[in-house]
Amino acid sequence: MDFFRRLTLAAIVFAAALALRAQSTVPTLTQAIPAQALSSTGGPVSLDLSKYFSIPGVTGQIAQFNTVLGTFNVELLASAAPQTVANFLTYVNGGAYTNSMIHRSASLNGGTSTANWIVQGGGYIFTDPNAGPVTIPPNPSNPVLPLEYNLPNSAGTIAMARGSATNSATTQWFFNVNDNTSVLGPSNGGGYAVFGRVLGTGLSVISAIAAVPTYNAGTGTAFETLPLQNVQSGQTSIALSNLITINSVAVIPVYPTNNTAPAVLSFAVVNNNSSVVAAALNGSTLTVTPVGAGTATLSLRAADTNNSSISTTVTVTVAAANTAPAITVQPVSQNVATGSTAVFNVAATGVPTSTYQWQFNGSAITGATGPRLVLPAGTAQAGTYSVVVSNSVSSVPSNNAALSFSNTADVGRLTNLSVLADLTSDSPTFTVGTVIGGGAAGVTKPLLVRAVGPSLARVGIASGFLADPFVQLFNSASTSIATNDNWGTGDQTLAQVFAQVGAFSFSGTTSKDSALYNPGLAAGGYTVTVSGVGGATGTVLAEIYDAAPAAVAPRLIDVSVLKQIAAGGSVTAGFHLAGSTSRTVLIRAIGPGLAALGVGGAMADPLVELFDGGSKKIFDNDNWGGDPQITAANKSVGAFPIADLASKDAIMLVTLTPGDYTARVSGVAGSSGLTVVEVYDVP
User: How many Å apart are CA 288 and CA 146, to the nearest integer?
Assistant: 52
According to DSSP, the β-strands at 413-423 and 538-546 are: antiparallel
Backbone angles phi, psi at 74, to 5 degrees: -125, 125
SS3 240: helix
Which pTM does this prediction carry?
0.62
pLDDT in tens, 591-606: 999 988 889 999 999 9
Phi, psi of 495 (to 5 degrees): -60, -35
The tens digit of pLDDT for each residue in 633-642 reads 999 999 999 9
pLDDT of residue 528 exceeding 70, the answer is yes
The 10s digit of each residue's pLDDT in 608-657 is 999 999 999 999 999 999 999 999 999 999 999 999 999 999 999 999 99
d(CA 244, CA 422): 69
| Residue 8 predicted with pLDDT over 70 | no
d(CA 64, CA 70): 11
3-state secondary structure of 639: coil
Strand stretches in 179-221, DSSP E: 194-198, 214-216
Contact 519, 548 (CB under 8 A): no
Say how many C-beta atoms besides its own lie within 10 A of residue 308's C-beta.
19
Share of the chain above pLDDT 70, in %: 96
| Other residues' Cβ atoms within 10 Å of the Cβ of residue 236 | 9
- The per-residue pLDDT for 130 is 79
pLDDT of residue 3: 43
pLDDT at 323 over 80: yes
User: What pLDDT digit, counting tens, does each position of 534-581 carry?
Assistant: 999 999 999 999 988 877 778 888 888 888 888 998 989 999 999 999
Per-residue pLDDT at 10: 47
pLDDT of residue 146: 95
DSSP structure string for 69-133:
TEEEEEEE-TTT-HHHHHHHHHHHHTTTTTTEEEEEEEETT-TT--SSEEEEEEEEE---TTT--
**In angstroms, rounded to a whole number, what is the distance separating the alpha carbons of residues 287 and 300?**
12
Q: Is 22's pLDDT higher than 60?
A: no
Domains and CATH numbers, the chain: 8-30+59-252 (2.40.100.10), 34-52+260-321 (2.60.40.10), 323-387 (2.60.40.10), 413-562 (2.60.120.380)
- In this predicted structure, the answer to whether residue 16 has a pLDDT above a threshold of 60 is no
Q: Which amino acid is at 555?
A: R
How does residue 2 score in pLDDT terms, banded at 50, 70 and 90? very low
475, 481 in Cβ contact below 8 A?
A: yes
> Which residue, among 133, 204, 120, 214, has the nearest Cα to 169 in the 3D structure?
120
Backbone dihedral angles phi then psi of residue 162, each to the nearest 5 degrees = -150, 170
**pLDDT tens across 121-130, in order?**
999 998 887 7
Does an H or E element contain 661, and which?
strand 659-667
Q: What is the pLDDT of residues 424-446, one digit of tens each?
A: 888 898 889 899 887 777 888 89
Q: What is the predicted pLDDT for the residue at 491?
A: 63
Residues 6+ apart with CB under 8 A from 406: 335, 336, 337, 338, 580, 581
